[in-house]
């Protein structure tokens, strides 16, 4: 109000002062974008450079050894995940922006982990192929590495999947376009070639956009008109520690929270994933199965998020089994990894590290998996065969999620401290 009015621009164009003011106003936004998303972009470039360095021959420059490449990948993965975590916790991001940033960071971390693991195996396969080729016909002195033997080895296991990418094999697949395609593709597991659809269907893309818009509006409406008033009305009961009143609020929260959860699942796993797949002509469109019919908690976690399930199976579960660990120990490790990612995405933006609800909720699935499996074994083939499904919906919709929403609301608003 006390600032002098801005002078009108000169007749010949925009003044230097107005350009300076415009740049000054855009600089904080640009700095924030570079600060928050810069590590993600640098992580992509570093992963590509590491693999390019690992396949160089003496005629093209120094070659990074397998051990050095693995160490560089580990450092790059740590920075890709930890820097966004630090920005989200100590920065001035809003809750929503912090959650989106950490979702992107965790997704990229998982993708680059798969990229590193897959190329580690490809380097080992290449070394074995070279040894086999050298044993059959030793190369002349001064010859560079020949990768045709690896291509021949891989071609023996090729499938007849139609509409895939080109038949190129390692190291010709270590290119930035292929890495960028994998980063944006709706999958977490890297492979040299993905099944591709023939073309993009504009009408289908438009229908996905309309469905996503409608469901997002429904989520906003339920959150603003139903969930938020119930949370506000729960504050006196929280302050007074009125357990009967809190139980009543949890029961009232169960239905709208379930609606938002199901709508969010539809928007992300059906609309968004299929939209990405359609725009990128990604052929594998199986992102979930009929988890709503699960009679055990193990079946639910195996069916409801197939990209994450495949990533954990490929990069956590089976590698741990190859270390001669028991299946119980490997299952515990898999749930621990999932719990850590859930906690990072939720706790750091909400500054609730002292209240690890997401981590504890995920680790609570370990005994629930055993209990639900025992119950299902008892009632299988009886009229109560769907008892496990009832227990699953009760645990998620009437106990777990409403309680988590209420506790996080209490933490974020500081009701108990005010």
88-101 pLDDT tens trace: 888 777 787 788 88
Q: For residue 282, give the DSSP letter.
A: B
101: alpha, beta or left? (left if phi > 0; alpha if psi -120 to 50): alpha
- Top pLDDT among 321 and 25 is at 321
Confidence of residue 61 (pLDDT cuts 50, 70, 90): very low
- pLDDT tens digits, 260-283: 999 999 999 999 999 999 999 998
The span from the CA of 60 to the CA of 54, in Å, is 12
Instruction: List the Cα angle 384/386/387 in 5-degree steps.
Output: 70
The span from the CA of 106 to the CA of 81, in Å, is 6
Q: Average the pLDDT over 18-47 and give the result.
A: 68
pLDDT at 26 over 90: no
Beta bridge partners of 222: none
Contacts of 340 (CB under 8 A, 6+ apart): 359
Instruction: List the Cα angle 9/15/17 in 5-degree steps.
Output: 110
pLDDT at 227 over 60: yes
Instruction: List the Cα angle 352/342/365 in 5-degree steps.
Output: 110
Confidence of residue 18 (pLDDT cuts 50, 70, 90): low
38: alpha, beta or left? (left if phi > 0; alpha if psi -120 to 50): alpha
The span from the CA of 413 to the CA of 406, in Å, is 11
The pLDDT score that the predictor gives to residue 364 is 85
Confidence of residue 58 (pLDDT cuts 50, 70, 90): very low
Q: What percent of the chain has pLDDT over 70?
A: 79
Per the CB < 8 A criterion, the answer to whether 358 and 347 are in contact is yes
The pLDDT score that the predictor gives to residue 287 is 93
The span from the CA of 174 to the CA of 179, in Å, is 7
Q: Is 342 part of the annotated catalytic residue set?
A: yes
Q: What is the pTM of this model?
A: 0.82
Buried b (16+ CB within 10 A) or exposed e, 260-293: beebebbbbbbbebbbebbebbbebeebbeebee
- pLDDT tens digits, 71-92: 999 999 999 998 888 888 887 7
Torsion sign (Cα): 36, 39, 40, 41? positive
The pLDDT score that the predictor gives to residue 279 is 94
Longest CA–CA separation in the chain, Å: 86
Q: Average the pLDDT over 50-59 and give the result.
A: 70
The pLDDT score that the predictor gives to residue 76 is 93
> 41: number of CA atoms within 13 Å, CB side?
6
Which one of 119, 309, 315, 342 is the catalytic residue?
342
The pLDDT score that the predictor gives to residue 93 is 75
Q: How far is CA 394 from CA 171, 254, 400, in A?
A: 51, 10, 9
pLDDT at 171 over 90: no
Using DSSP, state whether 196 is helix, strand or coil. strand
The pLDDT score that the predictor gives to residue 1 is 45
The span from the CA of 21 to the CA of 14, in Å, is 11
The pLDDT score that the predictor gives to residue 240 is 79
- Looking at every residue in the chain, the average pLDDT score rounds to 81
Confidence of residue 128 (pLDDT cuts 50, 70, 90): confident
Beta bridge partners of 164: 195
pLDDT at 140 over 60: no
């Amino acid at each position: 109000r006390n600032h002098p009015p801005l002078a009108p621009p000169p007749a010949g164009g925009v003044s230097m002062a107005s350009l300076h003011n415009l740049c000054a106003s855009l600089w904080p936004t640009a700095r924030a974008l570079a600060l928050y998303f810069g590590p993600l972009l640098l992580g992509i470039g570093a992963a590509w450079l590491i693999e390019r360095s690992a396949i160089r021959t003496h005629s093209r420059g120094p070659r990074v050894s397998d051990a050095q490449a693995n160490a560089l990948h580990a450092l790059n993965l740590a920075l890709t995940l930890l820097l966004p975590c630090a920005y989200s916790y100590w920065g001035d991001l809003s809750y929503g922006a912090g959650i989106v940033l950490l979702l992107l960071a965790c997704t990229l971390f998982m993708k680059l982990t798969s990229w590193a693991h897959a190329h580690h195996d490809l380097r080992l396969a290449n070394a074995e192929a070279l040894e086999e080729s050298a044993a059959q016909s030793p190369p002349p002195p001064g010859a560079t590495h020949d990768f045709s033997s690896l291509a021949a080895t891989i071609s023996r296991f090729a499938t007849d999947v139609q509409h895939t990418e080109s038949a190129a094999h390692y190291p010709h697949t270590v290119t930035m376009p292929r890495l960028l395609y994998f980063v944006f593709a709706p999958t977490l597991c890297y492979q040299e070639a993905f099944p591709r659809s023939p073309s993009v269907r504009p009408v289908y893309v438009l229908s996905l956009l309309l469905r996503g818009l409608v469901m997002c509006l429904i989520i906003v409406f339920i959150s603003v008109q139903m969930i938020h008033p119930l949370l506000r009305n729960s504050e006196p009961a929280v302050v007074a520690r009125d357990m009967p009143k809190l139980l009543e609020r949890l029961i009232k929260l169960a239905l709208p929270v379930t609606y938002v959860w199901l709508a969010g699942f539809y928007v992300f796993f059906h609309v968004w994933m299929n939209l990405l797949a359609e725009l990128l002509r990604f052929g594998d469109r199986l992102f979930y199965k009929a988890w709503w019919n699960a009679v055990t908690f193990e079946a639910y976690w195996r069916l409801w998020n197939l990209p994450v399930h495949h990533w954990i199976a490929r990069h956590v579960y089976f590698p741990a089994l190859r270390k001669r660990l028991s299946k119980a120990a490997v299952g515990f490790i898999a749930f621990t990894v999932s719990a850590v990612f859930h906690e990072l995405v939720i706790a750091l933006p909400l500054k609730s590290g002292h209240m690890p609800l997401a981590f504890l909720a995920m680790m609570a699935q370990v005994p629930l998996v055993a209990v639900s499996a025992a119950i299902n074994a008892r009632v299988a083939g009886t009229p109560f065969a769907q008892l496990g499904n009832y227990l699953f919906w009760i645990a998620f919709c009437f106990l777990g999620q409403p309680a988590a929403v209420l506790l996080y609301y209490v933490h974020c608003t500081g009701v108990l401290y005010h």
